[in-house]
Chains A and B, each alone.
Chain A
Amino acid sequence: MIKLNNLVATYTTERGQVNAVDGINIALPSGKIIGIAGESGCGKSTLLKVIYGDLIYPLALTSGNVEYGFTGDRGTEVTTRDIKEYWFRRISYIPQASMSSLNPVIRIRRQFVDFQGNVVDEAKILAEVREYVRSLDLPAEAIDAYPHQLSGGMRQRIMVAMGTFFKPDIILADEPTTALDVVVQKSILMLLMDIQEQMENTILFVSHDMGVHYQLTHKMLIMYAAKVVEFGDSEDVFSTSLHPYTKMLTDSLPTIGDDHIREGVSGRPPSLWDELVGCRFAARCPLATEICRQQEPALLEHKPGHFSACHHADQV
């Protein structure tokens, strides 16, 4: 269980401060692939940064903390305070597919072993890396190459290998396949799924592609304007959603044999700079009533394991 306790994360800018994660309080089950979706700017990447513990200027955690659900080297539960010590060993990160995440002038195998802590026996670790890469059905020679010598797909597979080499408890992936073509994208997601099935890590997976979420994830977390609006089993979230915003997102998914005009997602989310009263989605919501405009809905467990922050969850 990864517990997100009342997280508020703030960016400090020249204009002032803005909360990109604004009071997120939820427990995520371990060993599952958890999809995170929501429109651009709703705070998905910020939430991942907070969970990763990458809190550097201009981002700061204003309140709350994360409990990771595993004990550290000192025998105490790991929290936001000491998560950095476990980077890449117990919590890892797979960046967006692109050339830019690998250093172009040093060999990939060097980048495999320059994790924190002194690598005592580099040759031994490299042999293990080779073995691991081969076990993923990737050519072991790939790690001897320089990044520019590999295709985009192969590079991203190597990133997946890097991010999973230490069998981390938690893997964060922020749009890991966006820059790739559909076929490569699919094979990388399959790779990630296979690894997860074997190692049973928790994967937090951010994507704009609801189709990918549908195929890949066990749980879905829907964010809107820096808050969680819905969380539950993916099946439930996709078929019997309890939030009108989720409906709006999933309705934009095409289904075979369906020929009525889709509505798509209309309107825009509120600016996080404004003072936000009531339900943040109210202005765009077809179900909005007076209470929505005045009182902020709490994230409640309407059905077992299915949370929604909506005053009219029963009408969705």
Chain B
Amino acid sequence: MGLIQYIVSRVGAYLIVLFVGVTITFFLPRLMPSDPIEGYIAQMQNQAGQSMNPETIEELRTSMRKLYGLEGSIVDQYVDYIKRVFISFDFGPSLASYPKPVSEFIFTALPWTLGLLGTALVVSWLIGNIIGLVAGFYHNSRWATLLEIFGVILYPIPYYILALVLILLFAYIWPIFPLSTTILPGPITWEKINSIIYNSFLPALTLVLAGFGWNILGMKALSFANKEEGYVTFARLKGTPSRTIMFSYVFRNSILPQITALALSIGGVFNGALLTEILFSYPGLGLLMRTAIGSGDFNLLYGTIIMSIVSVATAALIIDLVYPLLDPRIRFR
């Protein structure tokens, strides 16, 4: 059974990626030259003034060793770490906002990142590919050339430049969107949803435009090449309507490599999203990560890193699992 093999291999690769990622985040802090615990204790002492007595400090040291999983042999530490991360999603407490657990921060931030990134990715990919399809399919028409030029211009612009230009244009010179994200706390109401959309529009737009160029150019090249395939010629000679040829023949075949490309590019897109959040003070994982770095909150930092790995790997897995739905050669091997 080809399909089962395919699924097993994808899920296997997924688990390996997660495992390797988590393992790296386990060893990374242990390879650091300075001892973060002592650093923290010094920092906390500063914050608390001189009021901490030595017992508290010793207690803190032990509990922090425990929190960091630094008790016992390195093998014990590793097993314990893996168990905590994979089974209970426990990344320990935040060190900057002790004792609030890191996972709490992460689960508040995650929906923002996933919402922003997911929407931007889907919109950019769908519209970019449709534009690319039209540009490739009607490559002789002037409109198609215009669409392609749009892609050619967008493609090489570095993301941060694009984002800054958009911020400058639409939040400063012509302030139709807010400069940074402010969302009222409280329960979900229509008003709140509106405010979320209003605040998310510009960051999403930068992400959409950033992905556009690549999607347009990729799809243009693919559909242009696909038009020369024997089955497209044969369909034309059958008298198949041009619209059917464009969608059922050219699009359905050219989209397959684009799906693979999407799965491969998702890591890069995630990086872009982290930057977006910082630029727009958008309350997602990226901003959280920056806060963690700013305040030296190691638990939070490694928690966000692991969560990023999980998100990217899961998204790629989902795309890989959707692929066979569109390619019968994998479904019925």
Give the B-binding residues of A (Cβ under 8 A): 52, 54, 84, 87-88, 93, 95, 98, 100-107, 110-111, 114-117, 146, 148-149, 162
Contact = CB atoms under 8 A, between A and B. Distances in A.
A114 B248 contact: yes
12 contacts: A100-B231, A103-B235, A103-B249, A105-B256, A105-B327, A110-B248, A115-B238, A115-B239, A115-B240, A116-B240, A116-B241, A148-B332
A105 B332 CA distance: 11
Contact of B239 (A102, A116, A162): A116
Contacts of B237: 52, 54, 87-88, 93, 95
A171 to B, nearest CB: 12
A149 B333 CA distance: 8
B238 A101 contact: no
A116 B234 contact: no
Residue among B230, B231, B248 with most chain A CB within 10 A: B231
Contacts of B329: 104-105, 146, 148
A84 B236 CA distance: 10
B37 to A, nearest CB: 57
Nearest to B326: A105
Contacts of B328: 104-105, 107, 146, 148
Given A114-B240, A115-B239, A162-B238, 14 more contacts: A52-B237, A54-B237, A95-B237, A100-B230, A102-B231, A103-B235, A104-B253, A105-B256, A105-B327, A107-B328, A114-B235, A116-B241, A146-B328, A149-B332
Sorted nearest first, the 10 A-B pairs with minimum C-beta distance are: A116-B239, A100-B230, A87-B239, A146-B328, A101-B234, A103-B231, A101-B230, A114-B240, A105-B252, A88-B238
Interface of B: 229-231, 233-235, 237-241, 244, 248-249, 252-253, 256, 326-329, 332
B234 A95 contact: yes
A105 B251 CA distance: 11
A106 B234 contact: no
A257 to B, nearest CB: 42
Contacts of B229: 100
Question: SS class of chain B's interface: helix, strand, loop or mixed?
Answer: helix
A101 B236 CA distance: 11
Contacts of B253: 103-105
B179 to A, nearest CB: 46
Nearest to B253: A105
Contacts of A106: 248, 252
A52 B327 CA distance: 33
A67 B252 CA distance: 38
Given A103-B253, A105-B327, A146-B332, A95 B239 contact: no
Contacts of A104: 231, 253, 328-329
Residue among A52, A84, A116 with most chain B CB within 10 A: A116
Nearest to A172: B237
A101 B249 CA distance: 11
Contacts of A93: 234, 237
Nearest to A116: B239
B240 to A, nearest CB: 5
A157 to B, nearest CB: 16
Contacts of B249: 103
B248 A103 contact: yes
A101 B239 contact: no
Nearest to B234: A101
Contacts of A115: 238-240
Contacts of B230: 95, 98, 100-101
A143 to B, nearest CB: 14
Contacts of B252: 103, 105-106
Contacts of B240: 114-116
B231 to A, nearest CB: 4
Nearest to A89: B239
A104 B17 CA distance: 32
B260 to A, nearest CB: 14
Contacts of B234: 93, 95, 101-102
A103 B233 CA distance: 10
A104 B229 CA distance: 11
Contacts of A102: 231, 234
Contacts of A114: 235, 238, 240-241, 244, 248
Nearest to A103: B231
